[in-house]
Structure 1
Amino acid sequence: MMKMNLLISIIVVILVASTSTYAYQWVDSLGHPNYPGQCVYRGVLISPNSMYYPSDECLTIECMDTSGIAYFTSCDPVDIPPNCQLSDYELDLEYPYCCDRETICY
């Protein structure tokens, strides 16, 4: 019984650690006929199985394979109270650290 409790505890820790509050995700095709076998995002070439962190956005892009399919991950949308707004992203930090924003209320 003790081993079963330990196993359940380990599974719960893994599940909690693997979930992220920063997980707005989508897939898009970034293939370009002039650059076969790579992803192209805003003029930047991304090799297959590579990650790209745009310096002007709080997201990451993973070029999945030579077909140009890319996996985007960005910050979750945040509900804010009326008469409030979010501070700007801290773009000097890479995703997901740039997602932490302050709620400013008036």
Structure 2
Amino acid sequence: MHYGTCWLCVGLLLLAGGQLTEAAIGHVFYHDDAHPGKCTVSETVILSPGEKTITSGICARITCENEEGLAEIASCGSQAPLEGCEWGDPKDEKAPYPECCERQQICP
């Protein structure tokens, strides 16, 4: 039982001192009559239902949901840092999603 309490405390400390981010989820239609049954994100990114892609330029993942072109976009959400702290710059903007969301908290 003491080990369970210890691991709970360690987990809470890591959560408090690490990156506190939550995903922001949105849905967009990427229908294109030239590519029926697919999500046409761009001329070069055409996804079948169930397929995913990591975007470049922004930190996000796009998942084609269905044959009508509905896609889910998961990007970095926003969450307030701990009181008295602020978020620093992203640790690695070129990392794949969701690692590109990670930020260090800066606390006095």
Q: Does the TM-score normalized on the shorter chain lie above 0.5?
A: yes
Q: Where do 4+ consecutive residues of structure 1 move more than 2 Å?
A: 78-81, 88-92, 101-105
Aligned amino acid, residue 97 of structure 1: E
Q: TM-score scaled to structure 2, two decimals?
A: 0.63
Q: TM-score scaled to structure 1, two decimals?
A: 0.64
Aligned match of 1:59: 60
- CA 1:71–1:89: 2 relative to 1, 3 Å: farther
Structure possessing the higher relative contact order (Cα contacts under 8 Å, 6 or more residues apart): 2
Aligned amino acid, residue 35 of structure 1: H
Aligned match of 1:70: 71
CA distance in 2 between counterparts of 1:86 and 1:31 reads 38
In structure 2, list runs of 5 or more residues that go unmatched: 1-19
Structure 1 vs Structure 2 CA RMSD? 2.7
CA distance in 1 between counterparts of 2:100 and 2:70 reads 24
Give 3-state SS (helix, strand or coil) of 2:103's partner. Answer: coil
In structure 1, list runs of 5 or more residues that go unmatched: 1-19
Written as runs of structure 1 = structure 2, the 5 A alignment for 1:19-34 is 21-34=21-34
